Structure 1
Amino acid sequence: MEEKSGFLQKLRRLSPLSLPLCFLSFVFLDFSFRYFYRFVGGTSVLSYKPMLFTAGWALLLTGLLGLLPRLARRIAMMLLILLFSVLTLVHCAMFNIFGNFFTFSDTNFAGDGARFFSWSYLNFRKALLLCIVLAVLMMAFAAFLVPPKPESRKKRIISKSAAGAAALLSLVPILCMHFSLQPKSDTMWWGNTYDPNAETEIYSEFTNTNRCVMLTGLYQYTFRNFTVSFGIGQSHQGADKLDAYYESREVSPDNGKTGLFKDKNLLMVMLESADTWLLTEDYMPNLYALQQKSINFANHYTPLYLSAGTFNTEIVSLTGLIPAVSGLPSRAYSTNSFPLSLPNLFRDAGYTVNSFHSASPAIYSRGSIHTNLGFEAYHSYVDMGMDDYMLDSQLIRAYDQMTSGNKFYSYLITYSGHGPYTEEMRNISDPHYEAAKAEVAKSGVTGSAENMEEYTLAVAHAMETDEYIGELVDKLTGDGHMEDTVLVFYADHYGKYMSDDAFLKQVKGVGENKNELYRTPFFLYSADQKPETVEKYTSSVDIVPTLVNLFGLDADRRYYVGDDIFGDRGGAVLMPNYAWFDENVYYSDAYQGEMTEAMQERTADFRERVNASWDTLKSDYFATWKGDETKGRKK
């Protein structure tokens, strides 16, 4: 016991190292995280910017901890290092799944996403895990070394003053770097040319999570992203400036397909995870047969503006607006005004409008959001009489509800394509597993045993969705609705539930250009239209203005982000962070090629569209939409 006591006494002599070790543990955690993800973004791991931010925050946190009493300091030290360690793991998990680090905007949909969590999505680097453990142990030792309360009042004052001075000193590098990365006022206007490599623009908008993490480090990113994501201290363009922008925006005039489907019924189906490699004659023969007889958009892309991929595409394809990645709470979709949403427009045109999805109305707040968008009702699996909400084949039970009314617009979201493709969802895959296994064996696809099993299960999930499509076509044909109903099919996102990204790229035929992952099916069928392949590059934002034009709906297309596909504009895919591409060039904030005048104009135009969409949502712009023609508004 005396030897043990003597050893502890010797360790106690190291108590002056407590706060320096605390400082180093914060620095070490950040540096380890950025080192293992140094391939992300365009900032070197040794760049002075993140290092100054991190040093400043480590000093600030250490100084504030030094002001606390002994026990509170120990507890706070461990809580902080554990908080940032967990946050680091969350960043890693999000990057593994979505290719982007975590943003607090994702918390708006965290509860819904957690329902579909699978351990198979987590694949952390062992070396990084070891570094995180070392950082925690370093902090634990620093907490152990917290010195006892100084006996004299003078020493206590000196100790607290030193900690306070360190905290104040830490603000110098943090604020200096913050203000140096803020763009000048004359570069913050929509009409100016956007410099793709300007760190000031990246930092100001804070929409490119990957570059921002590497540019600012873990702690400044956390603080800055929190304030931006929840709109703290943020502003948006007011109604007058949005009026001016929308007045000046030019869109395609009416064309040969304007009103082509006027007064026809519309069944609009968003397919869960129905990627291009699944929509084949062997795997989904019913859907494939429809695609071959449809107007098929061969170069259609579905970018993910939010990590909640299905919800992201749902909002885009119903409103024509891009969900704001920051500063907009999820409740806004339940309370804002959306007079130009598809449900409202079809309702105004005398249609019966309803939405159908087997999931609970509480998930993504669909119950309130869909009625706010203009649907008469949101129908879940309970309303549709389904025994198992995961089985798309049971959606046919709601056929009469979907086709009710003299004219109907029914919006349907399938479910069975959802992942993970594991034992967890055998109720979906089991009825089709043997058929899927046989078709996969003939496909020529090869991979590890784990990848091939996951691939086979994905095919089985797709077969369950395809069974419903076959039953739907039979029903529509039997009652004559195939002649007066347009069927629109599109995917909510690519097959992101495959856990091996490299294998997914292999089966999809994607090379180094990762943007090809976002290419997804989109086609529309009408019995009186000949099959047609549209090669024009399109994305989710083009769906609404195209349908508005085809059905001759009374709406001013200037208020949508995208373009009518059959018009003389568009032809490019809008991506997150103001990126875009077409058949000739891919432009992003890392673009190093020569910027032609045409590219500069296109980039400025797309940037304006995205900003206007975000500001429209943030300000609830349409709440004051009064049909004042002098302001460019059309009721």
Structure 2
Amino acid sequence: MDKKQLLRLGGSAAGAVLPFWLLDLTLRATTGGAAWYPLYAAAPNLFSLGFGALFAALCLLPRRRAVGRVLYGLIYAVWAVYAVVQYGIWRIFDRFLFLSDFLLAGEGLGFAGYIRQLMDARFVLVVALLILWGTLGVWRLPEDLPRRRVCPVLALFFVLTQFVAPRLYAPVPETLDWDSWQSSGYEYERFSSSAYDLALTGPYQFVARDAYLSVLPNADAVEQRAQIDAFFDERPAHEENQMTGLLSGKNLILVQLESVDDFVLNDANTPTLARLQREGINFAEFYTPQYANGYTFNTEFAAQTGVYPYANGNVAYSLSRSAFPYALGNLLAHVDYTANSFHKSEAKFYNRGAMHQAFGYEQYHSALDYAQDELQASDDRFLADCEELYSAMTAQQPFADFLITYSGHLGYDEIDALTTYALEQFPEYRDDSRPYEINGLFAKARLTDEMFAHLLERLEEDGLLENTVICVYDDHYAYGLTDREVLEEYSEAAGGRLLERTPCFIWYQGCTPQVVTKTLQTVDLLPTLANLFGLEVSDTMGRDAFDPNYEGYVIFPNGGWMTDTAYAKNGQIVWNNGMTDAEVSEMNAYARRFQEINDAILDTDYYAQATE
């Protein structure tokens, strides 16, 4: 074979490989991948060229060119759809889906109207480019290549890229000094930040490595348990304080709000909630970092267990058989509370029927089982107004009820039926000077607020209010607003240091109002409530807000962190009001260790030891 033939052969093969690389480059470029890892870096490009070679080899195997073209089109179409989905997810959440997150895709199917709002010029351009690359690939697929020579070479190239590309990342640092967490080799091993990981690997290796890590057996369980033990031994033991046992024996209604952000909760939009917050114990710097997707369930998991879910996948379906003896429902059940949970969705959604039982709740009650239709079940007021649900909440004392509201769920546009309904119920929120979505969000939040008003009234009429504690926290910031600038503007006006700051407060009759300004996070809620109710404050990733040994912090899934005095994001100090370089370095290392210990607890079913 002469030089010209070799060049022609190489050019023809490249024509089949390059569209897959262009798909990857388009996805990484349009989702800000360069902010995490350079677009021109060798590793992700090698990975994508290698997978492109593998896909091309498969399509060149059939003798008939038409069959090969169909096969090429099918393979490319699957990846193109995957890229479009991930682009849409990134537009909403600034992150991507891991494979396990696709188990939660059913929730998104119910909000097609919201997704349509993302169909702007940028979205159309991305889709058009992906279609163009695929069309060129199908059209350019050669038919006269010597398959027996070319296909093995392409397959060998794929194998070589799998061997070479991982070795091009920066070495894993021996110690996590300042900035060392950004080591590409460390993140490739850990694979915990979807935005960073896709930038490191491209979409094909992102899926392959995610799948590999999902089935990899845990051979280090004994060592991991030892590391967990050491972590808790080194941490100062919980110290009883003036709040210990303050609420012992009282009924508890724990409410997780849906999208009632800090700028939403005020006297104008939610007068009942605003009054309870003002009269109670207000945790003014409470943050809900979003580990993985399925934000609502992942937040309830963290609040109930004091442990965050995996940053690279959900736990609703993978950990339902794990032991959580120190989850809130189990702790209260041990002191003879009757514990039940309530929400709109069916028990199978997020596997709540099984997961809430693991948390210690006797029964999960879905409003859909009692309502006339879905719209009635979606109105949070139904939780308090339905006789059967209210009876299940209060029939036996002391009771512990876990309510998850729904009305504030996205979307907030003209297409969303619940938004239209809420604005009909509260026409005063039709304000043409504001974006329609803001009006929809505020009106939906008012439905939730009315639920609280009805519930308080019923509890007082039945003589239960004076012995009942109401604890309220939010599942996540109002990410459902499609205009990011509007969201940031409203959040900043409310005084939040970050979007992730959300409401959290505890109210009961006779409470002395106080504002706690310590920086707190979702996993701190469990130990704080345990301390207030005089229960065992066990070793979890959270800490009691009133423990004098706890200075307060929040750890984000991408390795960032925040304390009262400094905030680090993407390896950079965003602001610093007094931490020394040594303290910053120590906190940076601690944030990574925090996540490693958190995941090790999940990997090893660590708390099962307490039940043996």
Query: SS at the partner of 2:463?
Result: coil
* Structure having the higher Rg: 1
| 2:97 is the counterpart of 1:102 | yes
Write the distance in 2 (CA, Å) between the matches of 1:246 and 1:474.
44
Mark the CA change 1:355 to 1:194 in structure 2 (over 3 Å): closer, same or farther: farther
| 2:600 is the counterpart of 1:615 | yes
1:486 to 454, 464, 469: 469
Cα deviation, 1:327-367, whole Å, max 9, x if unaligned, reads: 77633332111101000000001101111112111111111
- The alpha carbon displacement at 1:434 in A equals 6.8
Aligned to 1:126: 124
Aligned to 2:324: 338
Q: Structure 2 stretches of 5 or more lacking a match?
A: 1-7
Aligned to 2:181: 196
Aligned to 1:35: 29
| 2:541 is the counterpart of 1:561 | yes
Write the distance in 2 (CA, Å) between the matches of 1:40 and 1:604.
24
Aligned to 2:513: 531
Aligned to 1:393: 381
Aligned to 1:5: none
Amino acid at match of 2:131: V
Query: SS at the partner of 2:17?
Result: helix
- The alpha carbon displacement at 1:183 in A equals 4.9
Amino acid at match of 1:317: A
Write the distance in 2 (CA, Å) between the matches of 1:268 and 1:345.
14
Aligned to 1:403: 394
Count of aligned pairs between the two proteins: 589
Aligned to 1:232: 216
- The alpha carbon displacement at 1:204 in A equals 1.3
TM-score by length of 2: 0.89
Query: SS at the partner of 1:623?
Result: helix
Query: SS at the partner of 1:577?
Result: coil
- The alpha carbon displacement at 1:409 in A equals 0.6
- 1:328-477 aligned at under 5 Å gives the runs 330-382=316-368, 384=370, 388-396=376-384, 397=386, 398-427=389-418, 429-430=420-421, 432-433=423-424, 435-438=426-429, 440=431, 446=433, 452-477=435-460
- 1:5-24 aligned at under 5 Å gives the runs 18-24=12-18
Write the distance in 1 (CA, Å) between the matches of 2:572 and 2:429.
45
State the percentage of identical aligned residues: 29
2:282 to 282, 289, 296: 296
- The alpha carbon displacement at 1:146 in A equals 2.5
Aligned to 2:136: 138
Aligned to 2:4: none
**Would the aligned equivalents of 2:346 and 2:366 in 1 still touch at CA under 8 Å?**
yes
- The alpha carbon displacement at 1:456 in A equals 1.2
Query: SS at the partner of 2:378?
Result: coil
**Would the aligned equivalents of 2:101 and 2:313 in 1 still touch at CA under 8 Å?**
no
Amino acid at match of 1:612: I
Amino acid at match of 2:36: G
- The alpha carbon displacement at 1:68 in A equals 4.2
Mark the CA change 1:66 to 1:140 in structure 2 (over 3 Å): closer, same or farther: closer
Mark the CA change 1:346 to 1:368 in structure 2 (over 3 Å): closer, same or farther: same
Q: Considering only aligned residues, what root-mean-square deviation do their CA atoms show, in Å? A: 2.8
Amino acid at match of 2:547: G
Amino acid at match of 2:89: M
**Would the aligned equivalents of 1:231 and 1:328 in 2 still touch at CA under 8 Å?**
no
2:169 to 178, 181, 188: 181
Write the distance in 1 (CA, Å) between the matches of 2:463 and 2:345.
30
- The alpha carbon displacement at 1:324 in A equals 1.4
Mark the CA change 1:507 to 1:256 in structure 2 (over 3 Å): closer, same or farther: same
Amino acid at match of 2:96: F
Amino acid at match of 2:280: S
Query: SS at the partner of 2:367?
Result: coil
Mark the CA change 1:361 to 1:515 in structure 2 (over 3 Å): closer, same or farther: farther
Mark the CA change 1:61 to 1:337 in structure 2 (over 3 Å): closer, same or farther: same
Cα deviation, 1:213-269, whole Å, max 9, x if unaligned, reads: 2222232222223323x2436655433443343333334311111111111111001
Mark the CA change 1:110 to 1:537 in structure 2 (over 3 Å): closer, same or farther: same
Amino acid at match of 1:324: Y
Write the distance in 2 (CA, Å) between the matches of 1:246 and 1:231.
28
**Would the aligned equivalents of 1:108 and 1:330 in 2 still touch at CA under 8 Å?**
no
Bigger drift between 159-168 and 313-322 goes to 159-168
Bigger drift between 40-49 and 84-93 goes to 40-49
| 2:165 is the counterpart of 1:170 | no
Aligned to 1:3: none
Write the distance in 2 (CA, Å) between the matches of 1:535 and 1:518.
15
2:57 to 63, 67, 71: 63
Query: SS at the partner of 2:181?
Result: coil
TM-score by length of 1: 0.86
Write the distance in 1 (CA, Å) between the matches of 2:313 and 2:288.
23
| 2:241 is the counterpart of 1:255 | yes
